[in-house]
Amino acid sequence: MEYFQLKNIPNMKYMRKYSDNIQYGTAGFRTKANALEHVLYRMGLLAVLRSKVKNAAIGLMITASHNIESDNGVKLIDPAGEMLEAAWERIATNLVNVEDRNLVSTIKHIIEEENINMSVDAIVITGRDTRESSPTLLNAAVMGIKALYGIVQDFGIVTTPQLHYLVVCTNTKSNYGDPTLHGYYIKISEAFKYVRQKQINNGQYVAELLLDAANGVGAIAAKEFQKYLGTTLAINIYNDGYGKLNFMCGADFVKVEQVPPVNFHAKRNFRSVSIDGDADRIVYFYVDEYEKFHILDGDKIATLIAEYLKELLKESHLSFQLGLVQTAYANGSSTDYILNVLQIPAVCVPTGIKHLHNKALEFDIGIYFEANGHGTVLFKETVIKTIKEAVTNPERSTNEKEAASKLLNIINMINQTVGDALSDMLLVETILHAKGWDIMEWEKMYDDLPNKQIKMKVYDKSIITTTNVGTQCITPEGLQDAIDEIVSQYKRGRCFVRPSGTEDIVRIYAECENLCDLDKLIKDVASVVYDCAGGIGPKPQVF
Protein backbone atom coordinates (compact mmCIF):
# COMPACT_ATOMS: atom_id res chain seq x y z
CA MET A 1 0.00 0.00 0.00
CA GLU A 2 1.66 3.19 -1.19
CA TYR A 3 1.37 6.14 1.18
CA PHE A 4 0.69 8.60 -1.64
CA GLN A 5 -2.80 7.14 -1.93
CA LEU A 6 -3.51 8.33 1.62
CA LYS A 7 -1.72 11.66 1.55
CA ASN A 8 -4.91 13.66 1.09
CA ILE A 9 -6.71 12.15 4.09
CA PRO A 10 -5.68 14.63 6.82
CA ASN A 11 -7.95 17.66 6.41
CA MET A 12 -7.82 20.46 8.98
CA LYS A 13 -11.37 21.57 8.19
CA TYR A 14 -12.82 18.22 9.19
CA MET A 15 -10.92 17.48 12.38
CA ARG A 16 -12.93 15.91 15.18
CA LYS A 17 -14.39 18.73 17.31
CA TYR A 18 -16.46 16.68 19.77
CA SER A 19 -15.19 14.10 22.22
CA ASP A 20 -18.45 12.13 22.59
CA ASN A 21 -18.55 8.81 20.79
CA ILE A 22 -21.26 8.20 18.22
CA GLN A 23 -22.64 4.79 17.25
CA TYR A 24 -23.57 3.49 13.79
CA GLY A 25 -27.00 1.90 14.23
CA THR A 26 -29.91 0.81 12.06
CA ALA A 27 -30.36 4.43 10.98
CA GLY A 28 -26.64 4.99 10.47
CA PHE A 29 -25.12 7.90 12.41
CA ARG A 30 -27.66 10.38 13.72
CA THR A 31 -27.20 13.28 16.14
CA LYS A 32 -27.09 17.09 16.24
CA ALA A 33 -26.09 18.42 12.82
CA ASN A 34 -23.34 20.66 14.20
CA ALA A 35 -21.46 17.58 15.46
CA LEU A 36 -21.43 15.74 12.16
CA GLU A 37 -18.96 17.37 9.75
CA HIS A 38 -16.05 15.12 10.69
CA VAL A 39 -18.43 12.15 10.65
CA LEU A 40 -19.50 12.89 7.07
CA TYR A 41 -15.91 13.38 5.97
CA ARG A 42 -14.91 10.00 7.39
CA MET A 43 -18.01 8.30 6.01
CA GLY A 44 -16.96 9.61 2.60
CA LEU A 45 -13.64 7.86 3.10
CA LEU A 46 -15.37 4.68 4.22
CA ALA A 47 -17.82 4.72 1.31
CA VAL A 48 -14.87 4.63 -1.10
CA LEU A 49 -13.33 1.66 0.71
CA ARG A 50 -16.68 -0.14 0.75
CA SER A 51 -17.14 0.48 -2.97
CA LYS A 52 -13.69 -0.96 -3.70
CA VAL A 53 -14.40 -4.04 -1.54
CA LYS A 54 -17.70 -4.73 -3.31
CA ASN A 55 -16.46 -3.53 -6.73
CA ALA A 56 -19.80 -1.75 -7.04
CA ALA A 57 -21.44 1.60 -6.40
CA ILE A 58 -22.26 2.46 -2.79
CA GLY A 59 -24.90 4.94 -1.62
CA LEU A 60 -24.41 7.70 0.93
CA MET A 61 -27.62 9.30 2.19
CA ILE A 62 -27.67 12.40 4.39
CA THR A 63 -30.84 12.52 6.48
CA ALA A 64 -32.20 12.26 10.01
CA SER A 65 -35.56 10.91 8.81
CA HIS A 66 -38.28 11.71 11.38
CA ASN A 67 -35.95 13.50 13.82
CA ILE A 68 -36.20 17.21 14.58
CA GLU A 69 -34.79 19.72 12.10
CA SER A 70 -31.64 20.49 14.09
CA ASP A 71 -30.55 16.84 13.83
CA ASN A 72 -29.01 15.17 10.83
CA GLY A 73 -27.37 11.89 9.97
CA VAL A 74 -25.75 9.68 7.37
CA LYS A 75 -25.97 6.06 6.34
CA LEU A 76 -24.31 3.94 3.68
CA ILE A 77 -26.29 1.80 1.26
CA ASP A 78 -24.83 -1.47 -0.01
CA PRO A 79 -24.86 -2.48 -3.72
CA ALA A 80 -28.22 -4.31 -3.73
CA GLY A 81 -29.91 -1.36 -2.04
CA GLU A 82 -29.68 -3.00 1.37
CA MET A 83 -28.42 -1.65 4.68
CA LEU A 84 -24.70 -1.71 5.39
CA GLU A 85 -23.69 -5.14 6.70
CA ALA A 86 -23.19 -5.49 10.45
CA ALA A 87 -19.41 -6.06 10.33
CA TRP A 88 -18.95 -2.74 8.56
CA GLU A 89 -21.22 -0.96 11.04
CA ARG A 90 -18.54 -1.74 13.62
CA ILE A 91 -15.81 -0.54 11.25
CA ALA A 92 -17.76 2.70 10.67
CA THR A 93 -18.20 3.30 14.39
CA ASN A 94 -14.49 2.80 15.02
CA LEU A 95 -13.41 5.02 12.12
CA VAL A 96 -15.64 7.91 13.10
CA ASN A 97 -14.52 7.88 16.74
CA VAL A 98 -10.72 7.53 16.40
CA GLU A 99 -8.52 10.48 17.29
CA ASP A 100 -7.42 12.63 14.33
CA ARG A 101 -3.82 11.52 14.72
CA ASN A 102 -4.90 7.89 14.22
CA LEU A 103 -7.11 8.45 11.17
CA VAL A 104 -4.57 7.49 8.50
CA SER A 105 -3.38 4.43 10.41
CA THR A 106 -7.00 3.33 10.91
CA ILE A 107 -7.65 3.62 7.17
CA LYS A 108 -4.50 1.59 6.50
CA HIS A 109 -5.68 -1.05 8.96
CA ILE A 110 -9.08 -1.34 7.24
CA ILE A 111 -7.38 -1.69 3.85
CA GLU A 112 -5.12 -4.45 5.13
CA GLU A 113 -7.76 -6.30 7.17
CA GLU A 114 -10.31 -6.29 4.34
CA ASN A 115 -7.65 -6.94 1.68
CA ILE A 116 -8.86 -3.97 -0.37
CA ASN A 117 -7.51 -3.51 -3.87
CA MET A 118 -6.99 0.25 -4.00
CA SER A 119 -6.62 0.21 -7.80
CA VAL A 120 -10.32 -0.63 -8.18
CA ASP A 121 -12.48 2.35 -9.16
CA ALA A 122 -14.92 3.52 -6.49
CA ILE A 123 -18.32 5.09 -7.16
CA VAL A 124 -20.34 6.74 -4.40
CA ILE A 125 -23.93 7.81 -5.13
CA THR A 126 -24.95 10.66 -2.85
CA GLY A 127 -28.27 12.21 -1.87
CA ARG A 128 -29.61 14.48 0.87
CA ASP A 129 -32.85 15.62 2.43
CA THR A 130 -34.11 19.20 2.73
CA ARG A 131 -32.48 20.12 6.06
CA GLU A 132 -30.55 23.38 6.17
CA SER A 133 -27.46 21.51 7.37
CA SER A 134 -27.47 18.93 4.57
CA PRO A 135 -25.49 20.89 1.89
CA THR A 136 -22.64 21.53 4.32
CA LEU A 137 -22.56 17.90 5.36
CA LEU A 138 -22.65 16.80 1.73
CA ASN A 139 -19.57 18.93 1.03
CA ALA A 140 -17.77 17.18 3.90
CA ALA A 141 -18.70 13.75 2.49
CA VAL A 142 -17.59 14.72 -1.01
CA MET A 143 -14.24 15.88 0.33
CA GLY A 144 -13.81 12.50 2.01
CA ILE A 145 -14.72 10.65 -1.16
CA LYS A 146 -12.33 12.67 -3.28
CA ALA A 147 -9.52 12.29 -0.73
CA LEU A 148 -9.42 8.60 -1.69
CA TYR A 149 -10.01 9.38 -5.38
CA GLY A 150 -13.58 8.14 -5.42
CA ILE A 151 -16.07 9.16 -8.12
CA VAL A 152 -19.12 11.08 -6.86
CA GLN A 153 -22.54 10.77 -8.50
CA ASP A 154 -24.69 13.31 -6.68
CA PHE A 155 -28.48 13.25 -7.13
CA GLY A 156 -29.10 16.26 -4.89
CA ILE A 157 -32.32 16.36 -2.89
CA VAL A 158 -33.94 12.90 -2.93
CA THR A 159 -35.96 10.71 -0.62
CA THR A 160 -34.08 7.93 1.14
CA PRO A 161 -35.98 5.23 -0.84
CA GLN A 162 -35.08 6.97 -4.09
CA LEU A 163 -31.38 6.76 -3.27
CA HIS A 164 -31.73 3.05 -2.45
CA TYR A 165 -33.44 2.60 -5.82
CA LEU A 166 -30.70 4.50 -7.66
CA VAL A 167 -27.97 2.38 -6.07
CA VAL A 168 -29.49 -0.96 -7.02
CA CYS A 169 -30.33 0.21 -10.54
CA THR A 170 -26.77 1.43 -11.07
CA ASN A 171 -25.35 -1.90 -9.95
CA THR A 172 -27.76 -4.12 -11.89
CA LYS A 173 -27.27 -2.23 -15.17
CA SER A 174 -30.97 -1.29 -15.38
CA ASN A 175 -32.32 -4.81 -14.75
CA TYR A 176 -34.23 -3.40 -11.77
CA GLY A 177 -34.97 -0.08 -13.44
CA ASP A 178 -33.47 2.98 -15.08
CA PRO A 179 -30.93 4.55 -12.66
CA THR A 180 -32.46 8.04 -12.83
CA LEU A 181 -35.20 9.82 -10.91
CA HIS A 182 -37.29 9.78 -14.08
CA GLY A 183 -36.80 6.01 -14.16
CA TYR A 184 -38.03 5.76 -10.58
CA TYR A 185 -41.18 7.78 -11.21
CA ILE A 186 -42.03 6.16 -14.54
CA LYS A 187 -41.57 2.58 -13.33
CA ILE A 188 -43.85 2.95 -10.32
CA SER A 189 -46.48 5.21 -11.88
CA GLU A 190 -46.85 3.16 -15.08
CA ALA A 191 -47.38 -0.01 -13.04
CA PHE A 192 -49.99 1.81 -10.95
CA LYS A 193 -51.86 3.04 -14.02
CA TYR A 194 -51.72 -0.37 -15.72
CA VAL A 195 -53.40 -2.16 -12.82
CA ARG A 196 -56.03 0.53 -12.45
CA GLN A 197 -56.78 0.70 -16.21
CA LYS A 198 -59.42 3.30 -17.15
CA GLN A 199 -61.56 2.86 -14.04
CA ILE A 200 -60.52 5.73 -11.77
CA ASN A 201 -63.10 5.18 -9.01
CA ASN A 202 -64.62 1.87 -7.93
CA GLY A 203 -67.44 1.20 -5.47
CA GLN A 204 -66.79 3.13 -2.26
CA TYR A 205 -63.28 4.00 -3.43
CA VAL A 206 -62.68 7.57 -4.62
CA ALA A 207 -59.32 8.40 -6.23
CA GLU A 208 -58.43 11.34 -4.00
CA LEU A 209 -56.49 11.61 -0.75
CA LEU A 210 -54.99 14.12 1.65
CA LEU A 211 -51.23 13.87 2.22
CA ASP A 212 -49.24 15.23 5.16
CA ALA A 213 -45.67 15.41 3.82
CA ALA A 214 -44.01 16.41 7.15
CA ASN A 215 -42.48 19.51 5.48
CA GLY A 216 -39.82 17.19 4.07
CA VAL A 217 -38.42 15.89 0.84
CA GLY A 218 -41.48 13.67 0.36
CA ALA A 219 -43.47 16.77 -0.60
CA ILE A 220 -41.16 17.31 -3.57
CA ALA A 221 -41.46 13.67 -4.61
CA ALA A 222 -45.24 13.63 -4.19
CA LYS A 223 -45.62 16.69 -6.42
CA GLU A 224 -43.44 15.03 -9.04
CA PHE A 225 -45.45 11.80 -8.81
CA GLN A 226 -48.64 13.79 -9.44
CA LYS A 227 -47.27 14.79 -12.86
CA TYR A 228 -46.75 11.14 -13.80
CA LEU A 229 -50.05 9.89 -12.33
CA GLY A 230 -52.19 12.46 -14.11
CA THR A 231 -55.89 12.05 -13.30
CA THR A 232 -55.58 8.52 -11.88
CA LEU A 233 -55.09 9.86 -8.34
CA ALA A 234 -55.53 13.34 -6.87
CA ILE A 235 -53.03 14.04 -4.07
CA ASN A 236 -53.79 17.10 -1.94
CA ILE A 237 -50.53 17.95 -0.17
CA TYR A 238 -50.27 19.60 3.24
CA ASN A 239 -47.11 20.44 5.21
CA ASP A 240 -45.39 20.67 1.86
CA GLY A 241 -42.15 22.32 2.95
CA TYR A 242 -43.07 25.79 4.19
CA GLY A 243 -43.28 24.73 7.83
CA LYS A 244 -40.86 23.22 10.32
CA LEU A 245 -39.64 19.74 9.37
CA ASN A 246 -41.37 16.96 11.35
CA PHE A 247 -42.80 19.45 13.86
CA MET A 248 -46.19 18.15 15.02
CA CYS A 249 -46.57 16.43 11.68
CA GLY A 250 -45.29 13.39 9.83
CA ALA A 251 -45.87 9.66 10.26
CA ASP A 252 -43.99 9.33 13.55
CA PHE A 253 -45.93 12.16 15.20
CA VAL A 254 -49.31 10.90 13.97
CA LYS A 255 -48.56 7.30 14.98
CA VAL A 256 -47.28 8.10 18.48
CA GLU A 257 -49.64 10.95 19.37
CA GLN A 258 -52.63 9.45 17.50
CA VAL A 259 -53.90 12.85 16.41
CA PRO A 260 -53.96 14.57 13.00
CA PRO A 261 -50.92 16.70 12.06
CA VAL A 262 -50.92 20.47 12.36
CA ASN A 263 -51.88 22.61 9.36
CA PHE A 264 -54.01 19.78 8.04
CA HIS A 265 -57.63 20.25 7.01
CA ALA A 266 -59.03 16.80 7.73
CA LYS A 267 -62.33 16.04 6.02
CA ARG A 268 -64.76 13.77 7.84
CA ASN A 269 -64.32 10.09 6.93
CA PHE A 270 -61.82 11.04 4.24
CA ARG A 271 -58.72 9.01 3.44
CA SER A 272 -55.63 10.77 4.77
CA VAL A 273 -51.95 9.83 4.67
CA SER A 274 -48.93 10.93 6.67
CA ILE A 275 -45.32 10.24 5.69
CA ASP A 276 -42.10 11.12 7.52
CA GLY A 277 -39.30 13.57 6.75
CA ASP A 278 -37.37 11.35 4.32
CA ALA A 279 -40.44 9.49 2.99
CA ASP A 280 -39.73 5.94 4.13
CA ARG A 281 -42.62 5.64 6.64
CA ILE A 282 -46.35 5.89 6.03
CA VAL A 283 -49.55 5.70 8.06
CA TYR A 284 -53.15 6.23 6.99
CA PHE A 285 -55.76 7.92 9.17
CA TYR A 286 -59.15 9.61 9.18
CA VAL A 287 -61.42 11.59 11.47
CA ASP A 288 -65.02 10.38 11.71
CA GLU A 289 -68.24 12.39 11.98
CA TYR A 290 -67.88 12.45 15.77
CA GLU A 291 -64.34 13.88 15.43
CA LYS A 292 -62.81 10.63 16.67
CA PHE A 293 -59.34 9.94 15.28
CA HIS A 294 -58.67 6.58 13.56
CA ILE A 295 -55.21 5.37 12.53
CA LEU A 296 -54.34 2.60 10.06
CA ASP A 297 -50.67 1.97 10.65
CA GLY A 298 -48.02 -0.42 9.34
CA ASP A 299 -49.91 -3.42 10.73
CA LYS A 300 -53.05 -2.51 8.80
CA ILE A 301 -51.02 -1.87 5.65
CA ALA A 302 -49.21 -5.21 5.96
CA THR A 303 -52.41 -7.23 6.43
CA LEU A 304 -54.11 -5.45 3.52
CA ILE A 305 -51.16 -6.27 1.24
CA ALA A 306 -50.95 -9.87 2.47
CA GLU A 307 -54.64 -10.51 1.83
CA TYR A 308 -54.48 -9.01 -1.67
CA LEU A 309 -51.37 -10.95 -2.69
CA LYS A 310 -52.94 -14.16 -1.42
CA GLU A 311 -56.01 -13.45 -3.56
CA LEU A 312 -53.92 -12.79 -6.69
CA LEU A 313 -51.89 -15.96 -6.15
CA LYS A 314 -55.12 -17.94 -5.87
CA GLU A 315 -56.57 -16.35 -9.03
CA SER A 316 -53.39 -17.05 -11.00
CA HIS A 317 -53.07 -20.62 -9.65
CA LEU A 318 -49.53 -19.92 -8.49
CA SER A 319 -48.19 -21.41 -5.28
CA PHE A 320 -45.46 -19.63 -3.33
CA GLN A 321 -44.49 -19.43 0.32
CA LEU A 322 -46.00 -16.14 1.53
CA GLY A 323 -44.89 -14.82 4.92
CA LEU A 324 -45.25 -11.70 7.04
CA VAL A 325 -42.58 -10.27 9.37
CA GLN A 326 -43.40 -7.99 12.33
CA THR A 327 -41.78 -6.55 15.44
CA ALA A 328 -42.98 -6.49 19.04
CA TYR A 329 -44.69 -3.14 18.31
CA ALA A 330 -47.21 -4.95 16.09
CA ASN A 331 -50.72 -4.86 17.51
CA GLY A 332 -51.74 -8.23 18.94
CA SER A 333 -54.97 -8.21 16.92
CA SER A 334 -53.03 -7.92 13.66
CA THR A 335 -50.97 -11.02 14.47
CA ASP A 336 -54.12 -12.95 15.37
CA TYR A 337 -55.72 -11.92 12.07
CA ILE A 338 -52.69 -12.92 10.00
CA LEU A 339 -52.36 -16.34 11.63
CA ASN A 340 -55.99 -17.31 12.16
CA VAL A 341 -57.93 -15.56 9.37
CA LEU A 342 -55.44 -15.14 6.54
CA GLN A 343 -53.61 -18.30 7.66
CA ILE A 344 -50.27 -16.85 6.61
CA PRO A 345 -47.08 -17.46 8.63
CA ALA A 346 -46.15 -14.49 10.83
CA VAL A 347 -42.82 -14.12 12.60
CA CYS A 348 -41.55 -11.55 15.11
CA VAL A 349 -38.02 -10.15 14.95
CA PRO A 350 -36.10 -7.46 16.89
CA THR A 351 -36.89 -3.84 16.08
CA GLY A 352 -34.86 -2.49 13.16
CA ILE A 353 -35.45 -2.67 9.42
CA LYS A 354 -32.37 -4.82 8.78
CA HIS A 355 -33.85 -7.56 10.97
CA LEU A 356 -37.20 -7.48 9.18
CA HIS A 357 -35.60 -7.31 5.74
CA ASN A 358 -33.29 -10.26 6.36
CA LYS A 359 -36.11 -12.42 7.73
CA ALA A 360 -38.42 -11.54 4.83
CA LEU A 361 -35.77 -12.83 2.41
CA GLU A 362 -36.42 -16.34 3.74
CA PHE A 363 -39.89 -16.43 2.15
CA ASP A 364 -40.71 -16.67 -1.55
CA ILE A 365 -42.73 -13.51 -1.01
CA GLY A 366 -41.86 -11.75 2.22
CA ILE A 367 -43.95 -8.86 3.53
CA TYR A 368 -42.44 -6.82 6.32
CA PHE A 369 -43.71 -3.76 8.14
CA GLU A 370 -43.03 -2.05 11.41
CA ALA A 371 -46.08 -0.62 13.12
CA ASN A 372 -44.61 2.85 12.47
CA GLY A 373 -45.27 2.34 8.75
CA HIS A 374 -41.79 1.40 7.50
CA GLY A 375 -41.95 -1.65 5.27
CA THR A 376 -42.08 -3.26 1.84
CA VAL A 377 -42.48 -6.59 0.04
CA LEU A 378 -39.66 -8.80 -1.26
CA PHE A 379 -39.97 -11.26 -4.16
CA LYS A 380 -37.37 -13.92 -4.94
CA GLU A 381 -36.04 -13.87 -8.49
CA THR A 382 -37.38 -17.39 -9.05
CA VAL A 383 -40.85 -16.13 -8.13
CA ILE A 384 -40.66 -13.25 -10.60
CA LYS A 385 -39.46 -15.61 -13.33
CA THR A 386 -42.36 -18.02 -12.70
CA ILE A 387 -44.91 -15.18 -12.77
CA LYS A 388 -43.50 -13.90 -16.07
CA GLU A 389 -43.81 -17.36 -17.57
CA ALA A 390 -47.42 -17.62 -16.36
CA VAL A 391 -48.34 -14.39 -18.18
CA THR A 392 -47.33 -15.80 -21.57
CA ASN A 393 -48.22 -19.48 -21.01
CA PRO A 394 -50.84 -20.41 -23.67
CA GLU A 395 -52.09 -23.28 -21.52
CA ARG A 396 -53.27 -20.93 -18.82
CA SER A 397 -56.74 -19.36 -18.80
CA THR A 398 -57.33 -15.68 -19.51
CA ASN A 399 -58.19 -15.03 -15.86
CA GLU A 400 -55.02 -16.74 -14.67
CA LYS A 401 -52.86 -14.71 -17.06
CA GLU A 402 -54.56 -11.46 -16.07
CA ALA A 403 -53.96 -12.17 -12.38
CA ALA A 404 -50.31 -13.02 -13.12
CA SER A 405 -49.96 -9.80 -15.12
CA LYS A 406 -51.35 -7.81 -12.18
CA LEU A 407 -48.80 -9.50 -9.93
CA LEU A 408 -45.97 -8.46 -12.25
CA ASN A 409 -47.11 -4.86 -12.20
CA ILE A 410 -47.55 -4.95 -8.43
CA ILE A 411 -43.90 -6.03 -8.23
CA ASN A 412 -42.88 -3.06 -10.41
CA MET A 413 -44.90 -0.74 -8.18
CA ILE A 414 -43.01 -1.86 -5.07
CA ASN A 415 -39.61 -0.48 -4.10
CA GLN A 416 -38.09 -3.74 -2.84
CA THR A 417 -34.87 -2.11 -1.67
CA VAL A 418 -36.37 -0.47 1.43
CA GLY A 419 -39.59 0.89 2.88
CA ASP A 420 -40.83 3.61 0.52
CA ALA A 421 -43.76 5.69 1.76
CA LEU A 422 -44.92 6.86 -1.68
CA SER A 423 -44.52 3.47 -3.34
CA ASP A 424 -46.40 1.89 -0.43
CA MET A 425 -49.09 4.55 -0.72
CA LEU A 426 -49.70 3.71 -4.38
CA LEU A 427 -49.81 0.01 -3.54
CA VAL A 428 -52.45 0.60 -0.85
CA GLU A 429 -54.43 2.79 -3.26
CA THR A 430 -54.28 0.01 -5.85
CA ILE A 431 -55.65 -2.55 -3.41
CA LEU A 432 -58.42 -0.31 -2.06
CA HIS A 433 -59.41 0.48 -5.66
CA ALA A 434 -59.48 -3.21 -6.57
CA LYS A 435 -61.69 -4.00 -3.57
CA GLY A 436 -63.87 -0.93 -3.97
CA TRP A 437 -63.22 0.03 -0.35
CA ASP A 438 -63.13 3.36 1.39
CA ILE A 439 -60.91 3.73 4.46
CA MET A 440 -63.70 2.70 6.85
CA GLU A 441 -64.17 -0.65 5.04
CA TRP A 442 -60.44 -1.25 5.23
CA GLU A 443 -60.44 -0.54 8.96
CA LYS A 444 -63.08 -3.24 9.49
CA MET A 445 -60.65 -6.03 8.54
CA TYR A 446 -59.99 -6.40 12.28
CA ASP A 447 -60.22 -4.27 15.43
CA ASP A 448 -56.94 -3.08 16.92
CA LEU A 449 -56.39 -3.53 20.62
CA PRO A 450 -56.21 -0.10 22.26
CA ASN A 451 -52.52 0.81 22.41
CA LYS A 452 -50.21 3.65 23.30
CA GLN A 453 -46.51 4.46 23.10
CA ILE A 454 -44.64 7.06 25.15
CA LYS A 455 -41.03 8.23 25.42
CA MET A 456 -39.10 8.81 28.64
CA LYS A 457 -35.75 10.54 29.08
CA VAL A 458 -33.25 8.65 31.23
CA TYR A 459 -29.72 9.41 32.40
CA ASP A 460 -28.27 6.33 30.73
CA LYS A 461 -30.36 4.28 28.30
CA SER A 462 -27.76 1.49 28.39
CA ILE A 463 -28.97 0.64 31.92
CA ILE A 464 -31.92 -1.10 30.25
CA THR A 465 -31.00 -4.22 28.29
CA THR A 466 -33.51 -6.57 26.71
CA THR A 467 -34.00 -10.04 25.27
CA ASN A 468 -36.73 -11.99 23.43
CA VAL A 469 -36.80 -9.59 20.43
CA GLY A 470 -36.76 -6.63 22.78
CA THR A 471 -39.87 -7.52 24.80
CA GLN A 472 -38.28 -8.47 28.13
CA CYS A 473 -35.88 -6.47 30.29
CA ILE A 474 -32.76 -8.23 31.58
CA THR A 475 -31.50 -5.20 33.47
CA PRO A 476 -32.04 -3.40 35.77
CA GLU A 477 -32.75 -6.36 38.03
CA GLY A 478 -36.37 -6.53 39.12
CA LEU A 479 -37.74 -4.25 36.40
CA GLN A 480 -39.27 -7.03 34.30
CA ASP A 481 -40.88 -8.64 37.35
CA ALA A 482 -42.50 -5.31 38.22
CA ILE A 483 -43.76 -4.88 34.63
CA ASP A 484 -45.15 -8.44 34.59
CA GLU A 485 -47.01 -7.84 37.84
CA ILE A 486 -48.66 -4.71 36.44
CA VAL A 487 -49.56 -6.26 33.07
CA SER A 488 -51.13 -9.33 34.72
CA GLN A 489 -53.92 -7.13 36.04
CA TYR A 490 -55.24 -6.29 32.54
CA LYS A 491 -57.13 -8.50 30.08
CA ARG A 492 -55.05 -9.13 26.95
CA GLY A 493 -52.48 -6.79 28.47
CA ARG A 494 -49.02 -6.45 26.98
CA CYS A 495 -46.26 -3.95 27.68
CA PHE A 496 -42.55 -3.69 27.00
CA VAL A 497 -39.74 -1.19 27.39
CA ARG A 498 -37.05 -0.61 24.79
CA PRO A 499 -34.06 1.76 24.79
CA SER A 500 -33.83 3.92 21.66
CA GLY A 501 -31.05 3.22 19.21
CA THR A 502 -30.59 6.90 18.34
CA GLU A 503 -31.76 9.02 21.30
CA ASP A 504 -31.19 9.21 25.07
CA ILE A 505 -34.66 7.87 25.77
CA VAL A 506 -36.56 4.66 26.36
CA ARG A 507 -39.83 3.84 24.61
CA ILE A 508 -42.71 2.20 26.44
CA TYR A 509 -45.41 0.39 24.47
CA ALA A 510 -48.64 -0.94 25.99
CA GLU A 511 -51.88 -2.50 24.79
CA CYS A 512 -54.89 -4.11 26.46
CA GLU A 513 -58.49 -5.00 25.70
CA ASN A 514 -60.20 -2.03 27.39
CA LEU A 515 -59.38 1.52 26.32
CA CYS A 516 -60.30 2.88 29.75
CA ASP A 517 -57.51 0.78 31.33
CA LEU A 518 -54.77 1.73 28.87
CA ASP A 519 -53.60 5.00 30.41
CA LYS A 520 -53.31 3.47 33.89
CA LEU A 521 -51.38 0.48 32.51
CA ILE A 522 -48.77 2.53 30.70
CA LYS A 523 -48.55 5.13 33.48
CA ASP A 524 -47.87 2.45 36.11
CA VAL A 525 -45.20 0.83 33.94
CA ALA A 526 -43.63 4.23 33.23
CA SER A 527 -43.46 4.86 36.97
CA VAL A 528 -41.49 1.69 37.71
CA VAL A 529 -39.19 2.35 34.73
CA TYR A 530 -38.57 5.85 36.09
CA ASP A 531 -37.68 4.47 39.51
CA CYS A 532 -35.50 1.60 38.22
CA ALA A 533 -33.72 3.36 35.35
CA GLY A 534 -33.23 6.87 36.67
CA GLY A 535 -35.64 9.01 34.70
CA ILE A 536 -34.90 12.69 34.07
CA GLY A 537 -37.34 15.34 35.24
CA PRO A 538 -40.80 14.73 36.71
CA LYS A 539 -42.46 11.36 36.31
CA PRO A 540 -44.29 11.14 32.97
CA GLN A 541 -47.95 12.05 32.96
CA VAL A 542 -50.13 10.05 30.59
CA PHE A 543 -53.38 11.54 29.32
Phi-psi region of 377 (alpha: psi -120 to 50; beta: other; left: phi over 0): beta
- Whether 274 sits among the annotated catalytic residues: the reply is no
| C-alpha distances out from residue 17 to 21, 34, 97, 146, Å | 11, 10, 11, 22
Residue 502 annotated in ligand binding: yes
Q: Name the DSSP letter for residue 122.
A: -
In this structure, are residues 525 and 539 in contact, taking their beta carbons and an 8 Å threshold?
no
Residue 208 annotated in ligand binding: no
Residue 488 annotated in ligand binding: no
Residue 212 annotated in ligand binding: no
Residue 500 annotated in ligand binding: yes
| Residue from 51, 65, 189, 405 carrying the catalytic annotation | 65
Residue 101 annotated in ligand binding: no
Residue 501 annotated in ligand binding: yes
Give the DSSP H/E element, type plus range, for residue 318. none
Bridge partners for 126 per DSSP: 60, 154
Residue 122 annotated in ligand binding: no
**What whole-number distance in Å separates Cα of residue 174 and Cα of residue 170?**
7
What contacts 524, CB < 8 A, 6 or more positions away?
486
CA 37, distance to chain mean position in Å, is 25
Burial of 277 (0-12, 13-18, 19+ CB in 10 A): buried
Helix axis angle for 298-315 and 421-435, nearest 10°, is: 60
Residue 65 annotated in ligand binding: yes
Q: Name the DSSP letter for residue 217.
A: H
Count of other CB atoms within 10 angstroms of residue 398: 7
- Which among 542, 536, 448, 454 has a CA at the least distance from the CA of 495? 454
CA 47, distance to chain mean position in Å, is 21
Residue 276 annotated in ligand binding: yes
Phi-psi region of 206 (alpha: psi -120 to 50; beta: other; left: phi over 0): beta
| C-alpha distances out from residue 445 to 183, 253, 303, 342, 454, Å | 35, 24, 9, 11, 27
Binding-site positions for Mg(2+) read 65, 276, 278, 280
Catalytic residue set: 65
Which residue numbers belong to the known binding site?
A: 65, 276, 278, 280, 370-372, 498-502, 507
